[in-house]
Amino acid sequence: MTTPAPAATASAPTPRVETDPKSLQLQSIAETLVQLSDDSSVPRNVRRGAVSAREELTKPRVALDVRIASAVYVLDDLANDPNIPTHGRTAIWSIISRLESLS
């Protein structure tokens, strides 16, 4: 007498979620840029620049170093604006520092 073969289970493989440290840091930086763009105490051109820098960071099919350089360029122009309040300039410098640590 033969024993029956065990029944094959049709369970789908669980998808692996990649948690790349750089992509997590980019997400965090993008969230900080959103907070800056929502801050009504900074001038409108700075809020627009924060949105622009975030768009540069999230461009698909562009190399990471190019995206970072583009965002830093936009943020550096904003940091030199004489009308920006101190806390906004400090936030921009912090974001630039975090971006430069990624490259």
CATH number at residue 75: 1.20.1440.50
pLDDT digits (tens, 9 = 90+) for 6-63: 555 555 555 444 577 888 899 999 999 999 999 999 999 999 999 999 999 999 899 9
Confidence at residue 30, expressed as pLDDT on a 0 to 100 scale? 93
Domain enclosing residue 39, as ranges: 21-102
What was the pLDDT predicted at 92?
96
The verdict on residue 12 lying in a domain is no
Give the residue among 54, 33, 55 at the shortest CA–CA distance from 42.
Answer: 33
Domain-located, residue 4:
no
What is the count of structural domains for the chain? 1
Name 22's Cβ contacts closer than 8 Å, sequence gap at least 6: 64, 102
